[in-house]
Amino acid sequence: MTRTDESRRRRELLSKLLEYSADHGLSEVSLRPLAAAVGSSPRMLLYFFGSKEGLVREVHRHAREAQLALLADALGDRLATGSRADALRALWEWLSDPAHHNVVRFFFESYARSLHAREDAWEGFGEASVREWLPHIRRALGSSDAEATLVLAALRGLMLDLLATGDTERVRAGFESLVAGLPVEPA
C-alpha cells in the first residue's frame, strides 16, 4: 500500500469512525466490534492509530475539525451581512437541528468524559473545544471574551436541555431570551 493509499484509507476510516461514534459513542466499545462496524479489522485500526486511545484521540480531533467547519458554514454570510442576532440564530438552527443531534450527543459524551480524564483519550477534549469555539463566537458577535464565554455556555446548556427533554418550544423560548438579552451592538 502506498503512502497515498494509506492516507486515503486512514481518512476513510476516520469518517466511518466519526459516523459510528455519533450514533453509538466510544466510551464502552472495544476494538473488535468497532472494527467490524466500520469495515476494518482490529489490526488495521491499530496500524493506523497505534492504540484504542490513539484512535479515540484522532476521532475527537476529526470531530472537532468537522464541527468547526460546520460552525463556519452555519455562521457563513451572517458574519458580514447580518446582525448579531442573525449570526446567533444561524448557529442555533444548526445546533438544534435534529439531524445533528447524534453529533452533538457525541460531543457532550466526550466533553463529560474529559472532565474526569487524566492521561487518557478524553483528556483535554473539553478545554480544546472551548478554546476552538470562542474565537468563532467572538467574531460572529463582535464581542468580548466574557460575552462570547457567556453565549457559548448558554448555547451548550440549552442544547443539553433540548437533548435531555426534547422540549423544543420551551428551549427555543429560552434561546430567544438569550438573543433578546444581547445588546444590539457589541459592548
CATH number, domain of 62, equals: 1.10.357
State the pLDDT at residue 175. Answer: 97
The reported pLDDT for the residue numbered 96 is: 93
**Is 149 contained in some domain?**
yes
Q: Write down the pTM of the prediction.
A: 0.80
CA dihedral 165, 152, 120, 164 (to 10 degrees): 0
In a domain, 40, yes or no: no
- What local confidence, expressed as pLDDT, does residue 3 receive? 79
Helix/strand/coil percent split, the chain, to 5: 80, 0, 20
- The whole-angstrom distance between residue 162's C-alpha and the CA centroid of its chain comes to 16
Which structural domain, as residue segments, surrounds residue 106? 54-181
Judge whether 132 lies within some domain. yes
C-alpha span between 76 and 73 (Å, rounded): 5
Asked if residue 22 is part of any domain, the answer here is: no
Average pLDDT, the chain: 86
In this model, does residue 79 exceed pLDDT 60? no
Q: Is 159 inside any structural domain?
A: yes
Please say whether the dihedral angle defined by the alpha carbons of residues 105, 110, 111 and 116, taken in this order, is positive or negative. positive
- Is residue 86 one of the residues assigned to a domain? yes
Per-residue pLDDT band for 36 (boundaries 50, 70, 90) equals very high
Q: How many domains in the chain?
A: 1
SS3 37: helix
Q: With contact defined as beta carbons under 8 Å apart, do 74 and 91 qualify?
A: yes
Banded model confidence at residue 151, pLDDT cuts 50, 70, 90? very high
Residue 32 belongs to a domain: no
Q: Which pLDDT does position 125 carry in this prediction?
A: 86
Rounded CA separation 149/135 (Å): 10
Give, as one character, the DSSP assignment of residue 1. Answer: -
Q: Stretch 148-175: mean pLDDT, rounded?
A: 96
For every residue of 90-117, DSSP letters joined together read HHHHHHH-GGGHHHHHHHHHHHHHHHH-
Residue 187 banded pLDDT, cuts 50, 70, 90: low
With respect to residue 41, please indicate whether it lies within any of the assigned structural domains. no
Contact status, residue 7 vs residue 25, Cβ threshold 8 Å: no
